[in-house]
Structure 1
């Protein structure tokens, strides 16, 4: 067999030419599509003005060649004014990560100091989050509509004032946006948004020492938002939601705080005055400590706490695990009060939507 070197040289040359050509084509497409996506981000920010929002940012840095697009949006801000009230958010950066073969699943990350502000005449309230790291994911359908949004942040310090702050070890949450109910369906019975959230390690300010310790071990939540809300303001949106029979279906709520553990499920809604009403059922372990904490915090009077303790013991199924009592009971919110079984326990603050 004769080795034809000319033939092999030609084959290698052709292969390299094809490879180089494909590389150049891919590189060109990467930059062209990347620039289109980058312009799309700026166009999206501009279009928010038609929805009543104002979105601004400084330069957008593009990198990530060849396996993904990374868009670092520097100094983004988002604000909305409604009458004399203004909402505002600002952060140091948001980085979007997009892969060419999975363009509908977008990962993003942020960090540093985030500010959320609520401003009305002669008053400005703000929360500053000093976040070590935050990562999330956006999922779009074939029409470009957002269907899922998830986010996780770790080691975050939430500052309300210079002396009042909360420390969060980790917070995970996920929103799923479902299709709107068809006109023939009963919209108040169809879930439009599903929420799952879990908070691990919430340390409270020193002045909020409740007797259970400053750190809440765990809070978990799973809920479905039934019905549609429409309106230019929060009050209008919740008013339309309430008048159409909308409700919040609480699938699961858990809180573990020191020796106290509570688990519940039920339904929340709003009455004609847009005040919360609810019916819940669940179990509480360590309820004696909970009542003591409420008495120490001044939320309930000692004599009412004693009556509530006796009533709970009468309704409870006591397991006596290491002197920790577990009870099964029903909770209700109605007419601005919290009821434990038949007992009107405490008066709740009125919600002011304006």
Structure 2
């Protein structure tokens, strides 16, 4: 009788133990698998980071760093580079920081997120001498992958040592900026990573000049732009080829939307609201070419800024102001102005012809 009564109790204890040990065992197996994945990801991350460094060096950039370590287990993969230096001797600039963190996740270690820590320095070499800009930011991130890159900035302040700069700007501040690029294949031609898509959203960008009139304030900027034949365009921008090669390959920039609220540093002057759509390329003489449509409100602030920076003569500014004021009175607060870039000139197209607002320089 006693043996028969004890059998169900023993079976129940064994069942309760399996309910406890089963999940613990499964969790241990999952944790062991995750640990293996993390270690494999760490190795891949090191390889991707070394590959990126090698690619940059082969492209002519300077990349230096101290000790590299990988940490962050078990939640993420975090590489740490001490005393990183990155620069382009040909263009005359060099960046450095106290340290650089490189984050990724174990199951996708080919996507790198770069985050500098501490105060940064940018050394700019020019004919006037060498300048050092010191940069501090609440958030500064760059995301890198094979087909997509992104940048995110918050509360950035940059100022030159000594308080003055040959650039005429004595301080640059950025409230927020997000930008990303995406590469995709051209389905019609079959060319891989041939089209680049760019998007931007920025707020509260201020470039302080020697005087308020020489400053620039951008309270809002956003853009959506596509560029065809991107490899040829980047070669031209980097000086490895010419813009004519990009043009012969069928290169074109399509501006789906580009908006900006911009004015001088003198806050008594109104800020102008400018939007652009259209297309850009180069002609056979390497001059910028294309047709654009500009939407403008409060154009006086923009014209004043162009005159302050010698991008538009005072005489031309008066002519443009008269034309835009006439159009504005007919269209209302916001006017749409057709622009044409042709034969080395930028013109406002009107029913009576065109008014030249700027002479263009050839792209080299």
Q: Decide whether aligned partners of structure 1 residues 77 and 17 sit closer, same or farther in structure 2, where only a CA change above 3 A counts.
A: same
Match of 2:158 in 1: 158
Distance 1:52 1:297 in 2: 33
Distance 1:129 1:156 in 2: 7
> Is the contact between residue 273 and residue 298 of structure 2 (CA under 8 Å) also seen in structure 1?
yes
1:61 CA displacement:
2.9
Q: What SS does the aligned partner of 1:205 have?
A: strand
1:314 corresponds, among 295, 313, 326, to 326
> Is the contact between residue 37 and residue 107 of structure 2 (CA under 8 Å) also seen in structure 1?
no
1:351 CA displacement:
6.1
Distance 1:289 1:40 in 2: 48
1:202 CA displacement:
1.2
1:300 CA displacement:
4.3
1:245 corresponds, among 235, 250, 253, to 250
Distance 2:261 2:207 in 1: 14
Alignment of 1:226-305 (within 5 A): 226-230=228-232, 231=235, 234-239=238-243, 240-257=245-262, 258-295=270-307, 300-305=312-317
1:169 corresponds, among 164, 175, 197, to 175
Q: What SS does the aligned partner of 1:235 have?
A: coil
Q: Decide whether aligned partners of structure 1 residues 347 and 217 sit closer, same or farther in structure 2, where only a CA change above 3 A counts.
A: same
> Is the contact between residue 313 and residue 327 of structure 1 (CA under 8 Å) also seen in structure 2?
no
Match of 1:131 in 2: 137
Q: Decide whether aligned partners of structure 1 residues 30 and 337 sit closer, same or farther in structure 2, where only a CA change above 3 A counts.
A: same
1:333 CA displacement:
3.2
> Is the contact between residue 176 and residue 202 of structure 2 (CA under 8 Å) also seen in structure 1?
yes
Out of 229-238 and 160-169, give the one that drifted further: 229-238
> Is the contact between residue 139 and residue 154 of structure 2 (CA under 8 Å) also seen in structure 1?
yes
Q: What SS does the aligned partner of 1:174 have?
A: strand
1:123 CA displacement:
5.5
Out of 8-17 and 335-344, give the one that drifted further: 8-17
> Is the contact between residue 218 and residue 255 of structure 1 (CA under 8 Å) also seen in structure 2?
yes
1:173 CA displacement:
0.3
Q: How many residues align?
A: 335
Distance 1:274 1:36 in 2: 44
Larger radius of gyration: 2
Q: What SS does the aligned partner of 1:172 have?
A: strand
Distance 2:217 2:236 in 1: 38
Distance 1:49 1:290 in 2: 41
1:48 CA displacement:
4.3
1:153 CA displacement:
0.4
Q: Decide whether aligned partners of structure 1 residues 62 and 332 sit closer, same or farther in structure 2, where only a CA change above 3 A counts.
A: same
Out of 45-54 and 90-99, give the one that drifted further: 45-54
Match of 1:143 in 2: none
Q: What SS does the aligned partner of 1:237 have?
A: coil
Match of 2:356 in 1: 344
Q: What SS does the aligned partner of 1:3 have?
A: helix
Q: Normalising by structure 2, report the TM-score.
A: 0.75
Alignment of 1:1-354 (within 5 A): 2-4=8-10, 7=14, 11=18, 12=20, 16=24, 19-20=27-28, 23-24=31-32, 26-46=34-54, 48-80=56-88, 88-103=94-109, 105-117=111-123, 119=125, 124=130, 128-139=134-145, 146-159=146-159, 162-163=163-164, 164-179=170-185, 181=186, 185=189, 192-207=195-210, 209-210=212-213, 214-230=216-232, 231=235, 234-239=238-243, 240-257=245-262, 258-295=270-307, 300-316=312-328, 318=330, 320=332, 325-341=333-349, 342-348=354-360, 350=361, 353=364
Unaligned runs of 5+ in 1: 140-145
- Deviations along 1:89-133, one digit per CA (max 9) or x if unpaired, are 333333232223444554443344444556578855665543331
**What is the Cα-based RMSD across aligned positions, in Å?**
3.7
Distance 1:300 1:49 in 2: 40
